[in-house]
A and B are shown apart, each in its own frame.
Chain A
């Protein structure tokens, strides 16, 4: 058995070991590769940046804890950007599995950095079952869908919610998602109520969302950890996504290397077999 044949039949645990080592290298030696910003991320950032001060924005936590590595940096960067512009933030989630908890923990942490107050500068509406009904219903009245916030406080007792009745008062929707709820925000809220929105999503979802960017249904797109890193760069606050790009760079290179070597081996072995049979 020659080298290529052995390479073709390599035990998958060697691949796992290589991936494991590659993931750890940037932890020991930070590389800080320069990150360029895509037009989609720049358009997203510019749309948020051009919002008038004190605008009310919905920051939507539509992702499960499994994708926090990709999605959480987007919500953190988004909350920082919005609070730095004195925007009022309304958070909610269509994910029962932790969405409201993540919204609570992130917005409160970032609010402390900017001296913002709950109820006046930001509100967490929490979760309500049935995203189609929730998104449609908020077009008529947010209070009819969420009579109380995530803490059980009636919305009428929260100063911010006294001036926000439905989508008419929402200037932008910052949707971060790892599932199909992003499509419903586009098809129900953007199409039905013309609220400008941008989507931050996992890398596997990003190709689909390009269709919404092309149709100008969303102003911009943050695709995966790269998109989050781009937003952090634009905000001039590098965070976990920026650091994560070192790891992603090396792992991508490893996978490409393995695929190329696998194909070289495939052709050499195929040629060898043809020769042997002739």
Chain B
């Protein structure tokens, strides 16, 4: 009982305070100060969750290495990477210019020369998969799929200079029409619908949490 009641009470008080504060000025006495305090708490608690994440990944990876689970060698790579990036970045720069997170530090060098290119490479490989998937899956099987195919082809032409130059050879200002009717027309209307729908959904869910109806965030229904 206590295990569920306390989180529900905390969620209700904090949620209600932030909701009231949203509609009032931050300078409003009491409510404004409470909301400011809660925002500070959120940042502090969030900092600890990051730390918890680091500890958790190290613990889980170390357990896998100890028990020689499948892929344990990769877990060693994870542990070494976390420690090599984290430890020098946490040590004070006054000890050595290699420490800290700034230009010339170990952290900066690893980030700029290993992590950043690796992440960019991973993302770039998407181009290969998208090309392959588009060629296999983009078929005009139904009228809806045909409409999507035509629109996607037009937008793909419009988004690149050589395509736009070709579209300009067609009668009428096709690039301007794509911008007006596809991007600022159909797309805009659909996106607004999605944004409003998502916002209403988020509001409903927040209200359920504040009122204690939704309790799955505590790990039980």
Binding site for B on A (CB under 8 A): 12, 15-16, 18-20, 23, 31, 33-36, 38-39, 64-69, 96, 98, 100-102, 104-105, 108, 128-130, 132-134, 136-137, 139-140, 144-145, 150-151, 183, 203, 207-208, 210-211, 213-215, 224, 226, 245, 248-256, 258-263, 266-267
Contact = CB atoms under 8 A, between A and B. Distances in A.
A224 B139 contact: no
Interface stretch (B56-64, B74-82, B109-117): B109-117
A65 B122 CA distance: 10
Nearest to A128: B43
Contact of B184 (A20, A67, A214, A251): A214
Interface string B180-221: 000110011001101100000000000000000000000000
A99 to B, nearest CB: 11
- Top 3 A-B residue pairs of the complex, sorted by shortest distance between their CB atoms: A129-B46, A33-B161, A258-B135
B108 A69 contact: no
Contact of A130 (B46, B103, B127, B175): B46
Interface residues of B, number: 56
A259 B138 contact: yes
Contacts of B187: 207, 210
B179 interface: yes
B161 A34 contact: yes
Contacts of A139: 26
Q: Please report whether the interface of chain A is mostly helix, strand, loop or mixed according to DSSP.
A: helix
Contact of A214 (B124, B164, B188): B188
Q: Please report whether the interface of chain B is mostly helix, strand, loop or mixed according to DSSP.
A: helix
B14 interface: no
B183 to A, nearest CB: 5
A101 B139 contact: no
B188 A130 contact: no
A251 B47 contact: no
Given A249-B162, A251-B131, A101 B112 contact: yes
Contact of B132 (A15, A34, A108, A251): A15
Contacts of B112: 101, 105
B45 to A, nearest CB: 8
